[in-house]
Chain A
Amino acid sequence: MPSLTDYLVLSAILFAIGTAGVFVRRNLITILLSIEIMLNAVNLSFVAFGRAFGTVDGQIIVFFVMTVAAAEAAVGLAIVIALFRHRESLNPEAFTTLRG
Chain B
Amino acid sequence: MVAFYCFASIAVVASLLVVAQRNPVYSVLLLIASFGALSGLYVLLEAPFAAVTQIIVYAGAIMVLFLFVVMLLNAPHEDTEEDLDRVRRVSGAATRLQRGPLWFGALLTAAFTVELVWALGREATLVSAFTRPAVSSVAAIGAVLFTEFAFAFEVTSVLILVAIVGAVVLARRETRERSPGVRPTGKV
**In the complex, A1 Cα to B44 Cα: how many Å?**
10
Q: Check if B58 sits within 8 Å of A40, measured CB to CB.
A: yes
Chain B residues positioned under 8 Å from A84 (CB to CB): 73, 75
**In the complex, A80 Cα to B35 Cα: how many Å?**
23
Q: How many residues of B contact A (CB 8 A)?
A: 92
Give per-residue flags for A69-100: 1 if the beta carbon is below 8 A from chain B beta carbons, else 0: 11111110111111011011111011010000
Chain A residues positioned under 8 Å from B162 (CB to CB): 71
Give per-residue flags for A24-61: 1 if the beta carbon is below 8 A from chain B beta carbons, else 0: 11110110111011001001100110111111111110
**In the complex, A32 Cα to B1 Cα: how many Å?**
32
Q: Check if A16 sits within 8 Å of B109, measured CB to CB.
A: yes
Chain B residues positioned under 8 Å from A15 (CB to CB): 116
Q: Check if A77 sits within 8 Å of B57, measured CB to CB.
A: no
A24-B106, A47-B45, A47-B47 given; A8·B58 CB < 8 A: no
Main secondary structure of the interface of B (DSSP, over half): helix
Q: Check if A56 sits within 8 Å of B18, measured CB to CB.
A: no
Q: Check if B50 sits within 8 Å of A47, measured CB to CB.
A: yes
Minimum CB–CB distance for B105 against chain A, Å: 2
Chain A residue with Cβ nearest B79: A26
Chain A residues positioned under 8 Å from B77 (CB to CB): 27
**In the complex, A84 Cα to B74 Cα: how many Å?**
10
Chain A residues positioned under 8 Å from B87 (CB to CB): 89, 91, 93-94
Chain B residues positioned under 8 Å from A29 (CB to CB): 24, 27-28, 66, 69-70, 73, 75
Q: Does B81 contact A (CB under 8 A)?
A: no
Which of B121, B132, B145 is the one whose CB lies under 8 Å from A9? B121
Q: Check if B69 sits within 8 Å of A70, measured CB to CB.
A: no
**In the complex, A88 Cα to B89 Cα: how many Å?**
10
- Most-contacted residue by chain A among B47, B123, B156 (CB, 10 A): B47
Minimum CB–CB distance for A36 against chain B, Å: 7
Chain B residue with Cβ nearest A20: B109
Minimum CB–CB distance for B3 against chain A, Å: 9
Interface residues of B (CB under 8 A from A): 1, 4, 8, 11-12, 15-16, 18-19, 21, 24, 27-28, 31, 34-35, 38, 41-42, 44-47, 49-50, 53-54, 57-58, 61-62, 65-66, 69-70, 72-73, 75-79, 83-84, 86-87, 90-91, 95, 101-102, 104-106, 108-110, 112-113, 116-117, 120-121, 123-124, 127-130, 132-136, 140-141, 144-145, 149, 152, 156, 159-160, 162-164, 166-168, 170-171, 173
5 closest A-B pairs by beta carbon, nearest first, are A23-B105, A54-B132, A71-B163, A12-B116, A78-B170
8 contacts between A and B (CB under 8 A): A12-B116, A18-B19, A29-B69, A29-B73, A30-B19, A37-B31, A89-B83, A91-B83
